[in-house]
Amino acid sequence: MDPDFEPRTTPLSPDEKIRLRSLMQEQIEDAVAQFGLLCQTTVKEDDNHVSVYTTVNFPLSNEAPRDFAAKAAAVGIPEDCYGKTVVHKTKVLKIVDVNLRAQKYPVEMLDTISGKRWRYPAHLVVTLLTQQEAK
C-alpha cells in the first residue's frame, strides 16, 4: 500500500458503490481468467461494508490418487474405476474419490454438469458400472 495513502472520510454515493462493486468483480474475474480458470464472485454489502466472496473452480487431475486403488478394493468397487463416468437417473457422474470412514456412502462422485459432489453406496456404483459396460 502507498505510504501516502489517506482513507476516504466521506461516504460513497449509491452510484459509487455500484461502480466499486462491478470494478471489484471484474478485476477478480480477470485475474483468475489469466490462469484459465472459472470463478464466481458474490458481493454483499451493508451500510459500512462491502464483502466479496470468490469461488474458484480448479480442474480435477486425470490421474488417480496413489491410494485410490487400495481404497476402492476395500469398499468393493473396481480398482481401475477412477474417473469413469456413469449415468444415474438424470445425472452424469464421474467417480472421484473413496472415503473409507463413510460406511453407508463411501464413493464420492462429481456431477459433470453442475459440478456438485454426491456420495453413493459401493453396491450401487458397481451396478452402475456394470450397466455402463453392458451398453
pLDDT per position as a tens digit, 82-108: 999 999 999 999 999 999 999 999 999
Residue 69: CB atoms within 10 A of its CB come to 16
Rg (CA), the chain: 23
- Each domain of the chain, given as residue ranges in start order, spans 14-57, 68-134
Work out the average pLDDT over 99-122: 94
pTM (predicted TM-score): 0.55
Q: What sections of the chain are H helices per DSSP? A: 14-33, 68-75, 122-134
**Cα separation of 54 and 26, whole Å?**
12
